[in-house]
């Protein structure tokens, strides 16, 4: 009788253990199912949030670009208003923004060219920007401009004494070949920002003067 009862108890224990195991499996499956459902349910929201963030970043970038353009246009407008206030260029000079440019019709040494500009109330042109360099190159003139290292070899300075910071030298220039100390815009070069050569200051070339209006 004792053996029979023990056997029955053992079968009941095993059945209970199996049922408990099945319940655990079902519970785990339920938890996994809930997690997957929650993940899939949240996916559209995450996708929508990501799209909103991308749109915000794009709009912020466009706003910054528009602000930069607005600031540049405002600066140009103010410059033009100031230039108009201070007058016009002499006859046969070319005006661009706040500067007047004179393009020579004959040739002189670098010093002779500078003296001519000064006699006109100007100086050899100082190139302050990429845009001004492109303008000077567009004049299609092999011409002196206001840059030299005649005082200290290798230290290039503008005619107003300021040091050269941004340059547009041709490849291999400046090379100081046989004491070349003055800068020349070479109209034979196609690239407007690769257009400078150093040349002997005693050679005769055309030149470009600049008179600032403001």
The DSSP code sequence of 84-134 is HHH--PPTT-EEETTEEEEE-SS-B-HHHHHHHHHHTT-EEPP--SHHHHH
Cis ω for the linkage preceding 174 (within 30 of 0): yes
Select from 61, 86, 111 the last residue of a domain.
Answer: 86
38 and 125 co-located in one domain:
no
Confidence check: pLDDT of 214 > 90: no
pLDDT digits (tens, 9 = 90+) for 101-139: 999 999 999 999 999 999 999 999 999 999 999 999 999
Give the C-alpha separation, 207 to 124, whole Å.
7
pLDDT-derived band at 195 (thresholds 50, 70, 90) equals: very high
Lowest-confidence segment of 57-61, 80-84, 118-122 by average pLDDT: 80-84
44 and 148 co-located in one domain:
no
187 and 100 co-located in one domain:
yes
Is pTM beyond 0.85? Reply is no
140 and 169 co-located in one domain:
yes
Tokens encoding 194: 């690769």
pLDDT digits (tens, 9 = 90+) for 132-159: 999 999 999 999 999 999 999 999 999 9
171 and 110 co-located in one domain:
yes
Select from 41, 64, 86 the last residue of a domain.
Answer: 86
Number of structural domains (the chain) is 2
Chain mean pLDDT for the chain: 84
Measure the N-to-C terminal CA separation of the chain; round to a whole number of Å.
121
42 and 62 co-located in one domain:
yes
101 and 194 co-located in one domain:
yes
pLDDT score of 50: 76
Question: Across-strand partners of 208?
Answer: 103
pLDDT score of 36: 66
21 and 115 co-located in one domain:
no
Confidence check: pLDDT of 21 > 80: no
Confidence check: pLDDT of 42 > 70: no
121 and 196 co-located in one domain:
yes
Give the C-alpha separation, 116 to 108, whole Å.
9
The residue range of the domain holding 184 is 94-212
């Amino acid at each position: 009788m004792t053996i029979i009862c023990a056997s029955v108890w053992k079968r009941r224990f095993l059945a209970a253990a199996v049922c408990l195991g099945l319940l655990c499996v079902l519970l785990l499956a339920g938890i996994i199912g809930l997690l997957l459902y929650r993940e899939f349910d949240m996916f559209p929201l995450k996708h929508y949030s990501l799209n909103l963030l991308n749109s915000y970043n794009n709009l912020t970038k466009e706003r910054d670009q528009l602000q930069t353009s607005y600031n540049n246009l405002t600066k140009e407008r103010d410059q033009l208003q100031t230039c108009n206030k201070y007058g016009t260029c002499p006859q046969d000079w070319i005006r661009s923004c706040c500067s007047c440019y004179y393009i020579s019709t004959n040739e002189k040494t670098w010093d002779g060219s500078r003296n001519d500009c000064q006699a006109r109330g100007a100086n050899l042109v100082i190139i302050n920007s990429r845009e001004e360099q492109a303008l000077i190159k567009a004049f299609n003139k092999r011409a002196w401009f206001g840059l030299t290292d005649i005082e200290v070899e290798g230290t290039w300075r503008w005619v107003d004494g300021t040091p050269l910071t941004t340059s547009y030298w041709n490849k291999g220039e400046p090379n100081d070949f046989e004491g070349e100390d003055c800068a020349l815009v070479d109209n034979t070069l196609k690239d407007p920002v690769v257009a400078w050569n150093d040349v002997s200051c005693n050679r005769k070339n055309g030149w470009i003067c600049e008179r600032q209006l403001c």
